[in-house]
Structure 1
Amino acid sequence: MQVDIEKYVGKSVEMIYEDSKGRLTQRTVAIFSVRGGKVRVLDWGKRAFRTLSASRILGARPVKHSVS
């Protein structure tokens, strides 16, 4: 089942992501764009932009996030 991540563009979400080695991670990210199966995010934990594969996102839910 694929997550409809496009509905979260412009929002922060908490997601479960499977990396290329099969490891599961939980990340809080801001979704900037979804294009061609790739999702451009700002990973709050790493404080860096990342490009993730949409097919590896296993779940997502919106969160309220404040930057201090």
Structure 2
Amino acid sequence: MNPRDMNKWVGQVVEIIYEDKSGNLTQRRIEVHGCRGELLRATCLATGSPRVFRAAGILAWNRLKANHAG
């Protein structure tokens, strides 16, 4: 994924498929707060925890409508 594409997600709720550095895959709904370089700062909606995701680890994404949050 191109990190420049992440800027349009700020303030949005998106669902992602993410591969971490160990190769573990997860599917998450997140609210995007910002991005800097290759990193995306967000809140995981399932846990309410702040998270940071690497652009290279985001394998798929889909913007969700606001009424799907939570």
Classify the TM-score, shorter chain.
Answer: 0.7 to 0.9
TM-score, normalised to structure 1's length?
0.85
Offset from partner CA, 1:44-67 (integer Å, 9 cap, x none): 012111111111111111112344
**What is the aligned length?**
66
What corresponds to 1:49 in structure 2? 50
Question: For structure 2, which runs of at least 5 residues remain unmatched after alignment?
Answer: none
**Is the CA contact (8 Å cut-off) linking 1:5 and 1:60 kept in structure 2?**
no
Root-mean-square deviation (CA, aligned residues, Å) is 1.3
Gaps of 5+ in 1: none
CA distance in 1, matches of 2:56, 2:45: 21
* Higher-helix-fraction structure: 2
Identical residues among aligned pairs (%): 36
Q: TM-score, normalised by structure 2?
A: 0.83
